[in-house]
A = this chain, B = another copy of it.
């Protein structure tokens, strides 16, 4: 196959990899974390603020964008990069996951999925071909194949049927995808928690040939131990010269563990969503800013953090903003959390270059359990 995306593996340390993915919209240093910009905005952040956290790529949700403002409209307005003022790389999911979790009256057939919009109740069809067309209209840098995210729990038979449907859809997506230099299409490995099915899925996708390989259907309730086991059974089988993306993951500890198991890319709503509920991530674990113990605390959230929230504002002020439900509280906590995630990825990249990924993971775990800091 030809590939539109150059991926350079710079260092390996055990299974962990440091690399660079070059795209039409700029380079991405991996392992990379992609903030989620669901509806053409990373919630509560200006594009400049997102850039300032160190993010090089953001994610857009096809499901949300196809319903509002509509893919054809985004195309008329110059594409998603211009629409949301993010000239850097954008990865869009295929819409499949949100159709399953958000839409009403969905019906899956071999052809694709028909569903009703949660916004206005209108009917929509999403086929592999339409998913490619929509992401092309959005001008997505990295397009994801349409798949069915296998529910958890699922029997082996259910997981097998669901995975095989996704593999047939993947082949149709590859066929329909419009190849261009600097743009790419990622396949998605399914197969639930069944190692044999994951292996079958990897082989099916590798046989079709993609610019990158995502691992889907994890972080859906199976637990970290099972997730790591599935990764260990999956990543060694994936083409080594292509980036690997673990979809929808996750907590900082999930990311560290997945990087050690050979994953290169991540996305998750946790840093943005948690910011909106008063939760902050720090080197010493999670901090709940709603807690009254912060009321008179003049210290920053994390004295070692270089983000604007920590450089300028006290815990007492953040507590006040969260309690008063002030918008600035969302922005400041989201900013800190995204900065924390980007810092974590930079630390992992440096550790891999230095052959010290395992040490980094151990130091990370020790910090998290140090406990400034209460549980969520």
Contacts and interface: CB of A to CB of B under 8 A. Distances in A.
Given A39-B324, A39-B326, A77 B316 contact: yes
Interface stretch (A68-76, A187-195, A354-362): A68-76
A331 to B, nearest CB: 7
Contact of A68 (B85, B296, B320): B320
Given A41-B326, A327-B330, A314 B46 contact: no
Q: Looking at A68, A326, A330, which has the most chain B CB atoms within 10 Å of its CB?
A: A326
Interface residues of A, number: 37
Copies of the protein in its oligomer: 2
A336 to B, nearest CB: 13
Given A83-B314, A312-B85, A316-B83, A328 B77 contact: no
A323 B69 CA distance: 9
A44 B327 CA distance: 5
A236 interface: no
A313 B46 CA distance: 11
A296 B77 contact: yes
A317 interface: yes
Interface in A120-142: none
Interface string A275-314: 0000000000000000000011010000000001000111
Given A320-B69, A321-B41, A296 B76 contact: yes
Most B Cβ at <10 Å: residue of A48, A312, A327: A327
A317 B295 CA distance: 38
A339 interface: no
A167 interface: no
Interface of A: 39-41, 43-48, 68-69, 73, 76-78, 83-85, 295-296, 298, 308, 312-314, 316-317, 320-321, 323-324, 326-328, 330-332
